[in-house]
Structure 1
Amino acid sequence: MLQKLDIVKLDVKDILIVPDFPGKHLGALAKRYPKAQLLSVTNEGVSNFQMWSAKALANWRSFFDGSTSKLVGYISTGKFDISDNSVDLIFSDLLLQDLADPKHFLQECWRVLREGGLITFSYLGPDTAKELRSLAVPALKLKNLLSPWDMHDMSDALLAERFSDPVMDMECLTLDYEKPELLLEDVSALKLMHSAPIEMTAMDVLPQKLTLEVVYGHAWAVGKHLAKAKDNVAYIDLNQIGRKTRTDSA
């Protein structure tokens, strides 16, 4: 995701990272944008001390002025604890597949992005863990991705939420394992199975590899003040209508 930002020209003053694992993205983005203030929405299990240490090491502006909130807060309220039009870049890594409604996430991103801002993200696609889904092992209690969207689904959703020029990409990564226990640890960490342990007899049928379909994308928040069309009717806020006065000359 950081490499894909190399092709983007963006004047960044404020960045929202959602989620941060724990402070890892903050450090990388602080190095890339040393003058920016970084706002973090941390994953569950990340302590306040971890984020305090990360901010202290990465970016003094974020240490004093930046804010940190928990992802569970967004999940429960559906809103980021920041004001409208307040960030230039949203950096979201491996989150969307765990959200019941990614469209609502995109709406909230649109709300907090400034005009000309950028959302960049990655998430797990529907072919993730396809080796496990082909097995008939009742003891292996797999969980479906909450949002198994392919990159075409996401591109359509971005356009529907008024984002401009979406760019989508996808790659499949293959992880190889020497022990089935290690594979199960990763499957659990990726929230692809229930936490209940499986019987040791089922270990013998587990594959030695795991496929991750990783979808990448970015899109721009452009034209935030333009009219929004719905049902072939354009709705315009009264505040967007300017008023000209005419002065009669002698």
Structure 2
Amino acid sequence: MSDFLPPTIDPIAAQRWQQAAPPVAPWLHEEVGRRMQERLQWMAAPPAVWCHWHALRGGVQTHDLIAQRYPQAQCYVVEETAAAQQAAQARWASPWWQPWRAGKLQVAMPPELGANMLWANMLLHTQANPLALLRRWHAAVAVDGFVMFSCLGPQTVQTLHQLYAALGWPPAGHSFTDMHDWGDMLIQTGFAEPVMDMETITLSFATPERLLQELRELGRNLHPQRFAGLRGPQWRDRLLHAIDQHLRLPDGALGISFEIVYGHAFKAAPRSARQWKKNRADLR
């Protein structure tokens, strides 16, 4: 097993979540996607072909912003469940009265897309084997193309983890990978020149119930040692009371923070054996 695999993700639970996740983006996904697409202004050339991996959960509003930025580009939307593929087709299929849009977007799952840009928003932290997904991305990106992604970092919802620990409960959620490890994984899977950074976004809520609703929309607890059985209304009442008591922000609202990791990297041309030998000789 690679040292880079997440230490606390149950692969079966992760697979079930991928199958069951509703084909709609939570508010936080759309906000992160909006911030990430602003970074495209620093990319030198517009892509002729771009790929949106898991576009529905990544954000349809974000997708539309990118499509407006690159109106001439061919786009492939990649969804991996039949329900999501049907929803994506219904969402972005060109109507008959707009024939000029036909062919600009396809819901497809070919092994190699030749994309100049692969976009994946808030996805990697749910993967039990992120290296396998990064390799698929590398195969889908054209030489000199790039991948741009975001995901949750290890400081996400730390106050909730601390609250669960103080109450003697199993972990509140699985752990998230550090941005430096993502950079190492990008290099290991064949990408070059990774650039990683992060920011913290704090959301505030009026009630504990609304806070829990937001967390459920964002995902599930994939920790192998999560509580295995069903919990009743008494446990829920105790959790809501604890949140109300311990997750207050200075302004009195309930708050919880998310570490957002951003990354991008390029796909370099493969080195030939002759180039590799020459480079090694130059280093001697």
- TM-score of the two chains, using structure 2 as the length reference: 0.67
| SS of the residue 2:45 aligns to | coil
- If asked which structure has higher relative contact order (CA below 8 Å, sep 6+), I would say 2
**Paired residue for 1:117?**
145
Aligned residue among 257, 263, 271 for 1:211: 257
Contact preservation (8 Å) 1:93, 1:121:
yes
Asked if the contact 1:27/1:54 (under 8 Å) is kept, the reply is no
Q: What secondary structure, in the 3-state scheme, does the structure 2 residue paired with 1:199 have?
A: helix
Q: Which residue of 1 aligns with 2:172?
A: 142
Contact 1:126 1:150 in 2 (8 A): yes
Distance of 2:107 and 2:92 partners within structure 1: 11
1:141 Cα deviation after fit: 6.6
Paired residue for 1:202?
A: 239
Q: Which of 33, 49, 53 lines up with 2:91 in the alignment?
A: 53
Deviation per residue, 1:63-118 (Å, 9 max, x gap): 5363325xxxxxxxxxxx22435211100000000001111111111111111101
From 52, 74, 85, the equivalent of 1:17 is 52
Aligned match of 2:77: 40
CA distance 1:85–1:191, shift in 2 (3 Å):
closer
More helix by share: 2
Gaps of 5+ in 2: 1-35, 223-228, 248-253, 278-284
2:282 aligns to what? none
Give the structure with the higher percent strand: 1
RMSD of aligned C-alpha atoms?
Answer: 2.9
* CA positional deviation for 1:143: 2.5
Matched position secondary structure for 1:67: strand
1:76 aligns with none
Task: Give the Å deviation of 1:201.
Answer: 2.6
Structure 1 position 97 matched with structure 2 position 136:
no
Percent identical across equivalent pairs?
23
Q: Which runs of 5+ in 1 are unaligned?
A: 70-80, 235-250
Amino acid at match of 2:161: R
State the 1:139 CA deviation: 6.6
TM-score by length of 1: 0.75
1:66 alignment partner, one of 98, 101, 105: 105
Q: Which moved more, 1:132-141 or 1:82-91?
A: 132-141
Question: Does 2:200 correspond to 1:181?
Answer: no
Secondary structure of 2:54's aligned partner: strand
8 A Cα contact 1:151 1:168, kept in partner: yes
Match for 2:272: what amino acid?
A
CA radius of gyration, larger in = 1
- Match in the other structure for 1:248: none
SS class of match (1:218) = strand
Contact 2:154/2:177, CA 8 A, preserved across alignment:
yes
Aligned partner letter, 2:149: F
Change in 2 beyond 3 A, CA 1:182/1:34: same
Aligned partners of 2:168 and 2:85: how far apart in 1? 36
8 Å contact kept, 1:142–1:192: no
Q: CA deviation at 1:165?
A: 1.2
- Residue type at the aligned position of 2:216: S
